[in-house]
């Protein structure tokens, strides 16, 4: 507004507003209003303000205010091109002001006592232009360095988080390797000895058919345990559940049939739909819960019947119910630690499900519900 008013004052018709001055005032006020968006569109605003100062009697204050944000947000080459445009526009605006009569110049002063006018000469105008553009560039470089510093801190924090994550993964992998090695060297060795002893009993002279049958069941159980142990070791070393690879909920019937082939008194009802679309995590948790629940029932109530009911579907989720009568006396040599039930509850909780056990009319009841959540 100051630039337009001084330009209007220099015209031959004092007291009137030339159309060009009116347009210049509207454009200048509009550009000043757009300064609120200098963080979002610094380059268009800077170039538009510089161009308006070239074609209209305006100064480049708006362009000089927007220029530092170009350095902070745009590429350095773009920033220097914008600096050149602002410098040219500032030179033209200062030349326009310096070409007028000193009484109509913005950069002029009047002595109050003598009334004498003092204005900048060419060197002074050049210095003013250099100071204005240099101050805008310096502010831009400072703002750009601040942005780069914040980006460097954010990148350092991100890399530190990644390093911590990798360190945690390596630590966990080392722990899994140690556990896998200990399991292989101890438990797997003893199970293999059991399998060999059972094989020897099968071919022992004088063994009855019942002895042979019992030895065969022991050998089968030992071999199954070894297979599952190998899968567990692979899981510990790789993080993938190799023992469940390629299985679906349809294979639950095979799991229960295997218990019956070993002479267990197991009755079951399995109703499964959409088995092949079940998420791997759901399949894995269901297998382990059924397997552990069945093992607990056979261990704590040997010789008693076990009833297993499984219902699974994508609309209702998975419901498991395992019941067995409570024995009159606790079996000899069987001491429960509760770790199996804790493991089942943890597996269910990871999927948002539940595992509940209770005694109902002399029957031990285990009920589990797992939601069917697609990956």
Q: Give the confidence band of 169 by pLDDT, cuts at 50, 70, 90.
A: confident
Of 288, 291, 285, 294, the closest CA to residue 266 belongs to 294
Tell me what pLDDT residue 249 has: 79
The closest of 255, 259, 238 to 247, measured between CA atoms, is 255
Instruction: Return phi, psi of residue 68, to 5°.
Output: -60, -30
Q: How far apart are CA 360 and CA 189, in angstroms?
A: 41
Predicted confidence band of residue 366 (pLDDT cuts 50, 70, 90): very high
Gap between the Cα atoms of 303 and 308, Å rounded: 15
Split at pLDDT 50, 70, 90, the class of 322 is very high
Give the pLDDT mean for 12-40: 78
Strand partners of residue 104: none
Name the helix (H) or strand (E) containing 167. helix 122-185
Q: How confident is the model at residue 87 (pLDDT cuts 50, 70, 90)?
A: very high
Determine the average pLDDT of the residues in 163-168.
86
Q: What is the pLDDT of residues 172-211, one digit of tens each?
A: 878 878 777 777 667 766 677 776 776 766 666 666 666 6
pLDDT score recorded for residue 125:
82
DSSP reduced 3-state for 295: helix
Dump the DSSP string for 225-240.
Answer: HHHHHHHHHHHHHHSS
CB burial of residue 214 (10 Å; 0-12, 13-18, 19+): middle
CA gap 237, 304 in Å, rounded? 38
Indicate whether 247 pLDDT > 70: no
What pTM value is reported for the model? 0.46
90-124 tens-digit pLDDT = 898 888 887 777 777 777 677 667 767 777 778 88
Question: Mean of the pLDDT values across residues 262-276?
Answer: 84
pLDDT for 260 equals 81
Quick one: pLDDT band at residue 307, thresholds 50, 70, 90? Answer: very high
Query: What are the φ and ψ backbone dihedral angles of 321, each rounded to 5 degrees?
Result: -135, 120
- The answer for 333, left when phi > 0, alpha when psi is -120 to 50, beta otherwise, is left
From CA 148, how far away is CA 76, in angstroms rounded? 12
Residue 248: count other Cβ atoms within 10 Å of its Cβ.
Answer: 16
Name the residue among 271, 270, 283 with its Cα closest to residue 243.
283
Q: Write down the pLDDT at residue 360.
A: 87
Return the percentage of the chain with pLDDT > 90, whole number: 10
Element (H, E) at 345: helix 339-350
- Judge whether residue 368 has pLDDT over 90: yes
Nearest-angstrom CA–CA distance, 129 and 122:
11
Pick the residue with more confidence: 357 or 182? 357
Looking up tokens 């060009």 gives: 20
CB 187 within 8 A of CB 232: no
């Amino acid at each position: 507004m100051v630039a337009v008013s001084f330009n209007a004052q220099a015209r031959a018709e004092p007291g009137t507003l030339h159309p060009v001055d009116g347009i210049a005032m509207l454009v200048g006020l509009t550009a000043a209003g757009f300064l609120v968006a200098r963080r979002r569109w610094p380059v268009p605003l800077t170039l538009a303000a510089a161009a308006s100062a070239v074609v209209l009697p305006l100064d480049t204050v708006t362009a000089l205010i927007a220029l530092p944000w170009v350095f902070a947000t745009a590429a350095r080459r773009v920033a220097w091109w914008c600096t050149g445009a602002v410098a040219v526009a500032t030179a033209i605006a200062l030349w326009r002001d310096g070409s007028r009569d000193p009484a109509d110049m913005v950069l002029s002063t009047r002595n109050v006592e003598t009334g004498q006018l003092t204005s900048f000469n060419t060197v002074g105008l050049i210095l003013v232009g250099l100071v204005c553009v240099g101050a805008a560039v310096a502010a831009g470089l400072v703002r750009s360095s601040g942005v780069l510093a914040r980006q460097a801190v954010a990148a350092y924090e991100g890399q530190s988080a990644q390093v911590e994550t990798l360190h945690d993964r390596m630590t966990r992998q080392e722990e899994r390797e140690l556990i896998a090695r200990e399991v292989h060297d101890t438990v797997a060795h003893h199970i293999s000895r059991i399998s060999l002893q059972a094989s020897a009993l099968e071919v022992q002279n004088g063994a009855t058919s019942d002895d042979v049958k019992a030895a065969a069941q022991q050998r089968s159980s030992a071999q199954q345990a070894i297979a599952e142990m190998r899968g567990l070791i692979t899981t510990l070393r790789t993080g993938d559940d190799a023992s469940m690879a390629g299985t679906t909920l349809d294979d639950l019937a095979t799991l229960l049939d295997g218990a019956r082939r070993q002479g267990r008194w197991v009755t079951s009802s399995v109703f499964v739909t959409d088995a092949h679309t079940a998420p791997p995590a759901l399949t894995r948790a269901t297998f382990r819960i059924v397997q552990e629940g069945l093992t607990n029932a056979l261990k704590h109530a040997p010789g008693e019947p076990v009833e297993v009911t499984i219902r699974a579907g994508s609309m209702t989720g998975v419901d498991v119910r395992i019941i067995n009568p409570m024995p009159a006396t606790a079996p000899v040599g069987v001491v429960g630690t509760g770790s199996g039930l804790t493991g089942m509850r943890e597996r269910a909780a990871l999927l948002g499900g539940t595992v509940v056990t209770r005694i109902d009319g002399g029957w031990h009841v285990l009920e589990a519900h797992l939601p069917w959540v697609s990956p």
